[in-house]
Structure 1
Amino acid sequence: MLTADNDFILIVDDNPTNLSVLAQALKASGFKVRVAADGETALAIASQHHPAIILLDVQMPGIDGFETCQRLKADQRTDMIPIIFMTALADTEHKVKGLSIGAVDYITKPFEETEVISRVNVHLKLRHLTRELETKNQQLQEFNQNLEHQVHLKTETLRQTQSQLVQREKLSALGELVTGIAHEINNPIGCIINNIDPAQSYIANMTQALQLYRANGEQITPAVLAEIERLDLDFILEDLPKIFKTIELSGNRIHDIAISLRNFARADIHTQQVTNIREGLDGTLLILGHRLKAIADKPPIQVHTHYGGTPQIACYPGQLNQVFMNLMANAIDALEEAIAQNQLSNPEIHLTTELDNQAIVVRIADNGPGIPPPIQTQLFDPMFTTKPVGKGTGLGLSISRQIIEELHQGSIQINPAVKQGAEFIIRLPLTT
């Protein structure tokens, strides 16, 4: 049954009797009907009023049904209208031709009214379902476009958030680095500064004594001798070399720190460099040295190094050092927490390197409270942290895994067999 007010069935036949019989039968079944006696009239009505379905006679004067069908299908305004051919030609050749140019069905003359009504109903239902499907497809396309837009916005927001968090993690590591360097460099700089005044005083006294000797030559009077005695040249000659030696040692210490900092902070992201990872481990210990020292009631954290095979490997030193910094800082955090809760009095960290089946294995272990097994499976998940709010980003271990696995084709894991404390194991292939 047609529903829209402008939906109708167009009957095209040059035989008035056929038009009358079909029109009455369709109207009796509740259909709206319009008729046309030739192909040209049918084309005009179809292009202007868009019938729901066309019953089209094959043999007509002027343009026949086949050409009329071809023109209807060639016009974007009418190409979707279902066409049912009506013909007395029952041979297969004509049916195949009609279907090949776009018809949906055939009705053979003379008509059986019930058959005509049945076929019309079937194709109207198919047309209705097709329209519904087109509408649903359009809605689905719009939904998909909107979804893609929303996903793009969400992805962009997530990317920005992730970038901010990664930047925050880098700033956190930078803060640890700056703090460590500040503590390590403060002592030698303080030593140099504190020795400048006595060194200048000694040099001034020696200069004055030399000037007195030069001015008096062999005629040194008791007064001149008393003045020289007051300058205490013997003590100056003994202490001044010690001051210069202390300044030299402090300068060397600053030089070593500068080299460690340079090695530690290399940001060679795009190219690998051949290096010995022991340099990165030692540099990390140097930078974190201030956190290992005894402060007030906190005992010193003892670090035991067990360096086995550490051949040079091609790697990204700056990124590896970031991993070492993260793991060691986490170990120190765990030990400090245990000390604060009076659970530990002899904090220790063990650094071990060894060769194993064409890989360098680095173990970083502590004797702190350890990590419960249920939490171990989540440690490397982004945003997961066991630290209080504001104390960690939850990205340190996630970024560390990315650096080890994606950049170096290695592996990083926590050792589940450790009964006390925690041990992280890094495997780096000798060739990447």
Structure 2
Amino acid sequence: MILEKGNLLVVDDTLDNLRLLSAMLSEQGYKVRKALNGQMALKTVSQVPPDVILLDINMTGINGYEVCQTLKDNHKTKEIPVIFISALDDILDKVKAFEVGGVDYICKPFQEEEVIARVENQLTIQRQKKQLQQEIKERKKTEQTLRVYLHAVSHDLRNPVLGMAMVLKNLLKKGRKENKPTIEMSNAVLEQIVASCDRQLNLINSLVETQQFEMGGVCLNCTPLDLFSLSQKLAAEWQPILKEHKGILDVLISPELPVVNGDSDRLWRVFENLLANALKHNPPGLKLTINAEVLTSQKSAFYTQKVIEKSSQDKRMVICILADDGVGMNSEQAENLFERYHRGDGAKKTLGLGLGLYLCRQIIEAHGGEIGVITNPNAGAKFWFTLPVFDSLKNTN
């Protein structure tokens, strides 16, 4: 049995020529479809694009030149190679064939060996083009992954290191001021430093989990998560950074809030990225609040249609809100805020890669939630995201 080698379309308004050429190619293992005129050829191509078209020039109705020109004017069919077959052997006829987009030209009467060689040459070129496109796609994917890793090092790891460095610098200043050879450290401060080190280690470990960013996905380790406790720890660890920026953070999450089904390390990164961006793009003295509540249909309508769709899928959602009283943004600035490599305009110039909010979106969507922002110039910004409430029945093995 001869394996199928390619999908060809033969177009000729002379039935004998059409049968002869089709039989010749079919015997060589090609899948061959036939069209008796230009109009039929265009309809056939639109239904299932072939790998190569063998096209007669002199046909009644729409001639071969017109068929080829129509195909090349359509972005869906312009890459299909067209081999002209004609009894016209004048140089001007050949030149016109190439001008309208033909890739090769065979003169009638044709020889089987020549036809097969020219068809196979075009199929080889097509295979090489597809391979090259795939290699380019994989290379871009690798470059994007490297950028994500670089961002995690330069952005996510920077936050806990900066907080810990500030605590240690304050202790050193206090020791120098009191002229003491040793520095006393409270258990609370020591616990804060240890927590910061643990946070760094978790982030470093996440870098080696390359599969978390493959195909735009994130690998999660979801457990029942108390957002009240998480936000309290976050506020304590960020206190030194907030103090340097003269910022104030109020945590309004109720301890009675239902637990969510979430990955604490990934959600910590979301909160940190949102806090870091708020401080980075606003002048000192920023006031921030973190709140969360069970999402109702009335509140979902206020935020976004996507949340309505999510919240109607027989699962309860919690909405988390991080708001500030900063400079805000206009609608154009906010439109692509969560896209890869988008860098917002703010009060401070930065050299970031524009991956922080993109990663936030990836993490939240991996949890089954949505993320967005409500903002206006000089009216602050309200970043929100939704998370599913933990369902003990659905999450029991």
TM-score computed with the length of structure 1 as normaliser: 0.50
Say which SS state the counterpart of residue 361 (structure 1) adopts. Answer: strand
Aligned with residue 320 of structure 1, among 267, 273, 288: 267
- 1:397 pairs, out of 346, 353, 357, with 357
Q: Tell me whether 1:333 sits opposite 2:316 in the alignment.
A: no
Query: Percent identical across equivalent pairs?
Result: 20
Q: In structure 1, what is the Cα distance between the partners aligned to 2:341 and 2:111?
A: 49
- Give the one of 420, 423, 426 matched to 2:379: 420
After superposition, what is the alpha-carbon deviation per residue over 1:217-249, rounded to whole angstroms, capped at 9, x for unaligned? xxxxxxxxxxxxxxxxxxxxxxxxxxxxx94x6
For residues 364 and 129 of structure 1, the distance between their equivalents in structure 2, rounded to whole angstroms, comes to 74
Contact 1:188 1:250 in 2 (8 A): no
Residue 369 and residue 390 in structure 1: after superposition, are their counterparts in 2 closer, same or farther (change >3 A)?
A: closer
Alpha-carbon separation, structure 2, partners of 1:129 and 1:410:
63
Match of 1:327, as an amino acid? L
Q: 2:162 touches 2:241 (CA, 8 Å); kept in 1?
A: no
Tell me what 1:347 maps to: 286
Change (3 A) 1:306 1:132: farther
Residue pair 2:161, 2:200 contacting (<8 A) in 1 also: no
Q: 1:397 to 1:129 in 2, by over 3 A?
A: farther
**1:76-119 per-position Cα deviation (integer Å, ceiling 9, x unaligned):** 9xxxxxxxxxxxxxxxxxxxxxxxxxxxxxxxxxxxxxxxxxxx
1:325 & 1:255 partners in 2: Cα distance? 19
Aligned to 1:288: 238
Q: 1:129/1:179 Cα in 2 relative to 1: closer, same or farther (>3 Å)?
A: farther
- From 179, 189, 207, the counterpart of 2:162: 179
Q: Quote the Cα distance in structure 2 between the aligned partners of 1:255 and 1:289.
A: 14
Map of 1:7 onto structure 2: none
Cα gap change, 1:403 to 1:259, in 2 (>3 Å): same
Q: From the superposition, tell whether residues 131 and 401 of structure 1 become closer, same or farther in structure 2 (CA, over 3 Å).
A: farther
Task: Find the residue that maps to 1:307 and give its secondary structure.
Answer: coil
1:311 aligns with 2:311: no
Task: Name the amino acid aligned to 1:359.
Answer: M
Compute the displacement of 1:190 (Å): 6.6
Instruction: For residue 188 of structure 1, report the CA deviation from its aligned partner.
Output: 5.0
Q: Residues 341-374 of structure 1: CA distance to partner in whole angstroms, max 9, x if unpaired? A: xxxxx52111111112421211011111111101
Picking from 179, 194, 202, the partner of 1:258 is 194
**Secondary structure of 1:386's aligned partner:** coil
Aligned equivalents of 1:140, 1:130: Cα separation in 2: 16
C-alpha contact (below 8 Å) 2:175/2:181 kept by paired residues: no
> How far does the alpha carbon of each residue in 1:49-73 deviate from its partner, in whole angstroms, 9 at most, with x for none?
xxxxxxxxxxxxxxxxxxxxxxxxx
Indicate the residue corresponding to 2:343 in structure 1: 385
2:107 is equivalent to residue 149 of structure 1: no
Instruction: Note the alpha carbon deviations across 1:10-59, whole angstroms, 9 max, x for none.
Output: xxxxxxxxxxxxxxxxxxxxxxxxxxxxxxxxxxxxxxxxxxxxxxxxxx
2:329 and 2:376 in contact (8 A); partners too: no
Mind listing any 5+ residue stretches in structure 2 that lack a counterpart?
Answer: 1-26, 29-86, 88-105, 207-218, 297-315, 392-397
* 2-structure distance, mates of 1:310, 1:418: 32
Higher relative contact order (CA 8 A, sep 6+): 2
Question: How many residues were matched structurally?
Answer: 255
* Structure-2 residue corresponding to 1:279: 229
Aligned partner letter, 1:367: D
Shift of residue 281, structure 1, vs aligned partner: 2.7
**Per-residue CA shift, 1:301-335, capped at 9, x if unaligned?**
12222113533223111111111111110011122
- Taking a change above 3 Å as real, the CA distance of residues 321 and 138 of structure 1, as seen in their structure-2 partners, is same
Q: Read off the aligned partner of 1:351 and give its amino acid letter.
A: I
> Which whole-Å CA distance do the structure 2 matches of 1:276 and 1:127 have between them?
80
| Deviation at residue 396 of structure 1 after TM alignment | 1.1
Instruction: Using the TM superposition, give the Cα deviation of residue 409 of structure 1 relative to its aligned residue in structure 2, in angstroms.
Output: 0.3
Q: Do the aligned partners of 1:367 and 1:420 also contact (CA within 8 Å) in 2?
A: yes
Distance 1:265 1:273 in 2: 19
- What is aligned with 1:361? 319
Q: Structure 1 187/310 Cα, relative in aligned 2: closer, same or farther at 3 Å?
A: farther
Q: Deviations over 1:273-323 (max 9, x none)?
A: 2221233333333333233115xxx6x212222113533223111111111
Please tell me the residue identity of whatever aligns with 1:378.
N
1:301 aligns with 247
Call closer, same or farther: CA 1:252–1:195 in 2, change over 3 Å: farther
Q: 1:186 offset after TM fit, Å?
A: 4.1
Change (3 A) 1:306 1:263: same
* SS of match in other structure, 2:147: helix
CA distance in 2: counterparts of 1:351 and 1:178, whole angstroms: 22
